[in-house]
A and B are shown apart, each in its own frame.
Chain A
Amino acid sequence: MRFNDAVLGAVFIALALYMIITAAGFPSFAGQPYGASLFPTVMGGGFLIGGALLVIRGLTAAGREIPAFTADPALLVPRNGISVALIVGAIVFYVVLADTVGFIPIALVILLGLFLWFRVKVVTALLLSVAVTALSFWFFAIMLRVPLPRGWLTGIV
């Protein structure tokens, strides 16, 4: 996904304005003209200048011919686009359901789903999903005592 420089430049300018305005509300040191707001304001200034230069670059010379938005050709192949979406989707799936369902079932579903989508042989996919889930649960949750969510399996593992 590629954007014309002017588009991202505008995003940086918006970010700069947000930072500078929010920072203006931070209290300063007693008896000093500046405080917690100084550094974020300087950073905001940097974004403002950088963003403006990007906008200029995007709207002049060679930049003008680049459309506001172009998708990477590899991403336009439906299969590849779905692959990328599945990677992001798998993480979102974990974030949303991990606490209720638990690490083990979710990791199994993510691994098995992705292996099958990437056309790994069914038997290999099944074996690997179980092995990787068991290994990572054993190593992190049991050896290193990371409180991976137990979910449905609370009291069992």
Chain B
Amino acid sequence: MDVILSAFSLIGDPQVLLVVILSAAFGMFVGAMPGLTATMAVALLVPITFFMAPVPALAAIVTASSMAIFAGDIPAAMLRMPGTPASAAYTDESYAMGRKGLLNLTLGTNLLVSVIGGLIGVAALIFAAPALAEVALRFTAFEYFWLTALGLSCAIFIASSDPLKAMLSLLIGLSLATVGIDPTAGVQRFTFGNVELMGGINFIPAMIGLFAISEIMRGAMRMQNTTPDMPPQSGPVFKGVGKVIWTYKKNVARGSILGTMIGALPGAGADIAAWISYAVSKRFSKEKEKYGTGHIEGVVDATAANNSSVGAAWIPALVFGIPGDSITAIVIGVLYMKGMNPGPTVFLENPQFIYAVFMIFIVANLVMIPMGWAVIKGARPILRVPRQVLLPIILIFCIVGSFAMTNSIYGVVLMLGFGVAGWLLEENGYPVAPIILGLVLGGMFERTFMSSMLRTGGDLLGFFERPIAATLGVITLLLWAFTIFRALQARGRPSAPILPGGAG
């Protein structure tokens, strides 16, 4: 009880509440702008959170990411452009609804169902995380090694259409994580005698480069000066929404549960959750023929799923230090910077922080209702902010933010390198999210690998001696075997990607 009270006093601080309101507004704006993703919202926030105490820092990230995932639905319905990749699955559907004059019904449903889905994801986080942490306390390097391996494997096999390219992206991230002083022996690796490189690759400028600079470059490449045409909007936002939710209550539940499960899976995030639950919804619907013509049913499933995955992605992040998606990969980096190393011991040493995170999630989802309503009402002027004004401003924020992370030009150089590389890689079909996962998890992956090797004396069979480790190991190997089998089977046939885009 004491813990919950102290958590309350942590988030009851007016400063924290102010941070929640400001980052909610920021998340709504970034999410609603097509081309600016939820990951980018978080990437741009991190340099600022760096200067905050842990609780407001986490509050800013939680709030901004929840808002951005919902706000992505707005331009999807109004402009047929998803504000974030997580809304892409049902963009055509909700745009078709807007054309039928049902714009407010779509957006109102998106908002309220997002809130319900978000709260279900948080409930899963609140109940599952402490229980899992109890189990995780008994984990040794072997379990962590396999858990990391499984998480990274999921990221390349489940979350991408081209496992080979995703694997190479991941290897880039893992290799970059080796730059600097080696964690086990203290040897300098790949530093070229450079003092800055000895400290390793700072992941924040790297991430700003990969997620923001490359996006600015793509934006500059496709600059257009026309103001888009938007369908008419009139009447109250929530009219008829209650009836939709009641009619499709099973879809709300199914989408939320599916989203929670996919979110909790390391490596897969909100966009995959939305694609899969939209597909599941269509598969089991009694009115399949209406899908794609402006029918709300699939939207209900998918919009619940993408928001529920936001909270659920924190389960593996907090308990094991393994991110559920690219946003939680950033969260893990922030936790390390704040000296709160994620893992089961945080639940023992700093339980008030964990409870504070839970409460912030609940607050953020509730704040979403009035904020979302305001953004839906004010969407027209927001969507008219021209790209040509926005891009240079974001560029300056990126430069200052990266500089602030190293207090030197080195941060800006890193950002530039990662930005150009990320742009080139994405142009060639390489997903960038695995690079960040590799960079954040590389240290832990190598540490657990090396200490497992030292314990077994180099005997790889020793990695399977403990029951949980063996189970995780077998699942990981089966995942690899299945992917290789499928790749061999598909040889010669034209390749058909299942899911567009990467994790994130």
Q: Does B496 contact A (CB under 8 A)?
A: no
Known: A27-B185, A91-B213. A118 touches B392 (CB 8 A): yes
Among candidates A34, A50, A136, A146, residue contacting B458 with C-beta atoms closer than 8 Å? A34
Contacting pair A32 B492 (CB below 8 A)? no
In the docked arrangement, what's the CA distance between A148 and B402, Å? 11
**Among residues 2 to 46 in chain A, which have CB atoms less than 8 Å away from a CB atom of chain B?**
2-3, 8, 12, 19, 22-23, 26-29, 32-36, 38-40, 43-44, 46
Known: A144-B404, A146-B404, A148-B400. A50 touches B164 (CB 8 A): yes
Interface string of B342-371 (1 = CB under 8 A from A): 000000000000000000000000000000
Nearest to B176 among chain A residues (CB) is: A43
Nearest to A103 among chain B residues (CB) is: B400
Contacting pair A114 B392 (CB below 8 A)? yes
In the docked arrangement, what's the CA distance between A27 and B188, Å? 10
**Among residues 134 to 189 in chain B, which have CB atoms less than 8 Å away from a CB atom of chain A?**
164, 167-168, 171, 174-175, 178, 182, 184-185, 187, 189
Contacting pair A91 B412 (CB below 8 A)? yes
**Among residues 374 to 408 in chain B, which have CB atoms less than 8 Å away from a CB atom of chain A?**
386, 388-389, 391-393, 395-397, 399-400, 403-404, 407
A contact face: mostly helix, strand, loop, or mixed = helix
How near does chain B come to A126, taking the closest CB pair, in angstroms? 13
Known: A107-B396, A110-B395. A19 touches B220 (CB 8 A): no
Contacting pair B404 A32 (CB below 8 A)? no
Q: Does B424 contact A (CB under 8 A)?
A: yes
**Among residues 96 to 132 in chain A, which have CB atoms less than 8 Å away from a CB atom of chain B?**
98-99, 103, 107, 110-111, 114-115, 118-120, 124, 128, 132
How near does chain B come to A87, taking the closest CB pair, in angstroms? 5
In the docked arrangement, what's the CA distance between A133 and B175, Å? 37
How near does chain B come to A11, taking the closest CB pair, in angstroms? 10
Q: Does A61 contact B (CB under 8 A)?
A: yes
Among candidates A40, A88, A146, residue contacting B178 with C-beta atoms closer than 8 Å? A40
Interface string of B213-231 (1 = CB under 8 A from A): 1001100111101000000
* Set of chain A residues within 8 Å of B213, measured between Cβ atoms: 87, 91
Contacting pair A19 B175 (CB below 8 A)? yes
Known: A36-B185, A53-B164. A72 touches B427 (CB 8 A): yes
Among candidates A26, A74, A132, residue contacting B396 with C-beta atoms closer than 8 Å? A132
Contacting pair A140 B400 (CB below 8 A)? yes
How near does chain A come to B185, taking the closest CB pair, in angstroms? 5
Contacting pair A111 B407 (CB below 8 A)? no
B contact face: mostly helix, strand, loop, or mixed = helix
Nearest to B417 among chain A residues (CB) is: A91
Contacting pair A83 B223 (CB below 8 A)? yes
Known: A111-B393, A114-B395, A140-B400. A39 touches B178 (CB 8 A): yes
- Chain B's interface size range is 35 or more
In the docked arrangement, what's the CA distance between A28 and B412, Å? 34
In the docked arrangement, what's the CA distance between A73 and B302, Å? 34
In the docked arrangement, what's the CA distance between A8 and B446, Å? 26
In the docked arrangement, what's the CA distance between A3 and B427, Å? 9
Interface string of A70-88 (1 = CB under 8 A from B): 0010110000100110111
Which of B63-71, B85-93, B108-116, B448-456 lies at the binding interface?
B448-456
Among candidates B51, B392, B399, residue contacting A94 with C-beta atoms closer than 8 Å? B399
* Set of chain B residues within 8 Å of A26, measured between Cβ atoms: 182, 187, 189
How near does chain B come to A101, taking the closest CB pair, in angstroms? 12
Q: Does A156 contact B (CB under 8 A)?
A: no
Among candidates A3, A36, A115, residue contacting B189 with C-beta atoms closer than 8 Å? A36
Among candidates B175, B222, B424, B494, residue contacting A74 with C-beta atoms closer than 8 Å? B222
Contacting pair A39 B51 (CB below 8 A)? no
Contacting pair B446 A86 (CB below 8 A)? no
Nearest to B388 among chain A residues (CB) is: A118
Interface string of B39-73 (1 = CB under 8 A from A): 00000000010010000000000000000000000
Among candidates B217, B404, B409, residue contacting A140 with C-beta atoms closer than 8 Å? B404
Q: Does A147 contact B (CB under 8 A)?
A: yes
Known: A26-B187, A36-B185, A118-B223. A136 touches B400 (CB 8 A): yes
Q: Does A95 contact B (CB under 8 A)?
A: yes
In the docked arrangement, what's the CA distance between A107 and B399, Å? 9
Q: A36-B187, A84-B220, A111-B393 are in contact. List 7 more A-B contacts (CB 8 A).
A: A33-B458, A40-B189, A74-B222, A119-B388, A140-B404, A144-B48, A146-B404
Give the top 5 A-B pairs by smallest Cβ distance, nearest first: A118-B388, A114-B392, A83-B220, A36-B187, A36-B182
